[in-house]
Structures are given as structure tokens and as C-alpha cells.
Amino acid sequence: MVDHDGDEDHIRSERSFAEMCSEMLIKDFMTKDLVTISENDSIDQVLDTFDKYHFHTYPVVNEDNVLVGTIDQNIILKILLVHRAPQIEHTHLNAVVFQGDTAKTIMIPHPVSISPNETLCDTADMILKHKIDRFCIVEDGILVGMICKPDIIKEVYKLRGSY
């Protein structure tokens, strides 16, 4: 025997979750207090930032706080262990990065960014579809926040518990 009332409650709950997820905006829970790297910071300043704060990725901004790139742990490790880089990574681009003396010369340009008005569900979909761990949040070209996969998981978990 099928309990149709239970099925309706479940469908109603799922619809409610989907609606709530589609109404939650990233700007409401993104990280706004950011540690950034200036595009003119020296490699030593970049390394000091990684040593002091222990994040995986840092946004790189210009003097107007416009997002110009990111620097992640992989770049730092490659720079620190340049002599151990695999042969396949001996490319012209990596040679330029390994010889860089400022954040601008070692950063990953054109970082993936989203609007603060993206919804929780759409952001989660992008993370899953494109295998992205974090997004820089940009409004009118200006860096206004960051969101990472654990932030999304936390909000989805809280939301699922509230319906």
C-alpha cells in the first residue's frame, strides 16, 4: 500500500527546498572580509601572505580593487620547487611564471567570477558542472567577495534542515 499523503508531503518539501534554494543569493552569505594580494606585491610578499593566512587561493587586485587574477597553492609550490618541475611543465609560460618577480607575473589571469546576485542553486550547479572549488564575487568589475565549496555545502545543509 502506498502512502500518497507522505508522497505529497515529500514533493511539497522538495519543491519548497528548490524554491528556497533558488531564492537565496550568494551576496547574503559570501565572505566579504577578504585577504587580497596586490598585483604589484613582490613574490616575497605573496609568500608571506600564504604563510600568514593559509588559504588555498587569493584574489589579485589592482589599485582600484578590480579583480585581475588569482594565485593558488599550486603556483606557489611550482615556484618554490621550480627545479623539480616535471619535464612536461617546462613550457614558455611556466618559464615566465617561474622568473616572475611580482604577483602580476605569476597570477592566473581571467579568474572565474560570478555576480553577488547568483542564487545558491545556480552556484552549486556551476561548482558541480565545472568542478570549481571557489568563485570570486565581482560587481561592476570590483571584487566584493569570495565563495567556496564548503560555504555552499554549509548553506545547502542548513537550508535542507529548515524545510
* Mean pLDDT, contiguous 10-residue spans, the chain (163 residues): 52 69 93 96 94 94 96 87 59 57 91 95 94 94 95 91 67
Please, are residues 149 and 129 in contact by the beta-carbon 8 Å criterion? no
How many domains does the structure of the chain reveal? 1
Distance CA 19, CA 27 (A): 17
The CB density around residue 148, as the number of other CB atoms within 10 Å, is: 18
Q: What is the DSSP letter of 33?
A: S
Place of cell 581571467: 110
CATH classification at residue 13: 3.10.580.10
Question: 0.95 cut: is pTM over it?
Answer: no
Cell numbers for 146, please give them.
Answer: 569570495
CA 47 to chain centre: 20
Q: Which residue range(s) make up the domain with 97? A: 4-162
